Amino acid sequence: MRLAVLADVHGNLPALRAVLSEVDADAIVVAGDAVGGPQPLEVLEALAARPEPVHWIAGNAERETLAVLGGAPPAEGPPGRAARWSADALDAGWAAAIARWPIRLALDGTCFCHGSPRRDDEILTRATPRAALREALASVPERLVVGGHTHQQVLREGYANAGSVGMPYEGRPGAFWLVLDGGEPEHRVTPYDLDAAAAELRATGYPDVEDLLAESLLDPVAPGVVTELFERASGRDRGGA
């Protein structure tokens, strides 16, 4: 089975449109964090309209959005504002659908998740110690785990990160995703018109749109810097191999 894996769209509809124009697959796996950005409803509707089967996985952005919809106060800072924005955009039908999404899914011999198979916000990066990576993947029988969350494409033993469609941290612009064909992962990057995308995203009034555009698309942060920040945020011991 040929699968297109799209993670971390984060409400970036122009990036998603570009990727969908290139998708040629038997099915699509949405590996979390479709919402949490300027155009969450439009992104969900564009994916739902696809002719291929779409398999949905919940990421931390979906969990945080559902929490706000359930009456919890949003967190401070950009994640909380993203959850509030997404909650305001979604109708009851989408809220009910998202509540049914799993945090992991086994399909065609691969385990798909967002952060890790055991937690939607677990941090796995290019620099995660091998022992920590093995521990995070130990609960699954599948030979390969494919996720997202850290917005960088990774291919390591037993683990692949699809990268981010809408908010990449690759040091260069584009929409990053992954194809699995016969179980073999192939990273992809799709260019798109950033000036037109910036204008469309700014027109939404999304509160943190300038940071989104600057840090990942218009003046991308160096990928090594982002990897190190994620590793520090993981809280794990960096002494392992």
Domain residue ranges in the chain: 2-220
- Tell which CATH classification among 3.40.190.10, 3.40.50.880, 3.30.1540.10, 3.60.21.10 matches the domain 2-220: 3.60.21.10
Cα separation of 128 and 222, whole Å?
A: 18
Write the pLDDT tens digit of every residue in 52-77.
999 999 999 999 999 999 999 999 99
Closest by Cα among 222, 184, 114, 186 to 176: 186
pLDDT of 236 reads: 81
Beta bridge mates, 186? 179
pLDDT, tens digit, 9 for 90 and up, residues 119-144:
999 999 999 999 999 999 999 999 99
Q: Using 50, 70 and 90 to split pLDDT, how confident is the model at 184?
A: confident
pLDDT of residue 237: 63
What pTM was estimated for this model as a whole?
Answer: 0.96
